[in-house]
């Protein structure tokens, strides 16, 4: 997981070398800020825009997601995976035994 972002960055930079698009700012454009978009609104639209406005950088890191399984369910998933792999190995060995018997 440590190298995922490095790999993604590498892919994006290599892909960007293939692109021919060069971004440029149109001559008659004006810069907009979030307040400019929220101020002319009224009612709930303005209220929701102002509530979602970023006022300062976050002091904490991104949230951590809880694990998708509790320990008991995770153990059952692992057990099921192991038993499936074991069953497939048994089928393979049974096939090869039968295959080798018919050849001799």
pLDDT of 34 above 70: yes
- In total, how many domains does the chain have? 1
Nearest Cα residue to 77 out of 85, 65, 69 = 69
| CB of 55 closer than 8 Å to CB of 40 | no
Residue 82 has what pLDDT?
Answer: 95
Give percent of the chain above pLDDT 70. 94
Q: How far apart are CA 95 and CA 47, in angstroms?
A: 69
Specify if 87 maps to a domain: yes
Specify if 75 maps to a domain: yes
Specify if 97 maps to a domain: yes
Specify if 88 maps to a domain: yes
Range of the domain at 101: 71-104
Specify if 52 maps to a domain: no
Specify if 76 maps to a domain: yes
Single pTM value for the model: 0.34
User: Residue 49: exposed, middle, or buried by beta-carbon count in 10 A (0-12, 13-18, 19+)?
Assistant: middle
């Amino acid at each position: 997981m440590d190298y995922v972002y490095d790999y993604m960055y590498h892919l994006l930079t290599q892909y960007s070398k293939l692109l021919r698009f060069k971004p440029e700012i149109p001559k008659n454009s004006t810069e907009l800020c979030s307040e400019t978009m929220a101020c002319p609104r009224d009612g709930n639209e303005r209220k929701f825009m102002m509530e979602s406005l970023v006022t300062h950088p976050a002091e904490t890191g991104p949230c951590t997601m809880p694990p998708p399984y509790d320990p008991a369910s995770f153990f059952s998933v692992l057990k099921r995976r192991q038993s499936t792999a074991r069953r497939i190995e048994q089928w393979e060995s049974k096939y090869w035994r039968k295959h080798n018997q018919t050849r001799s």
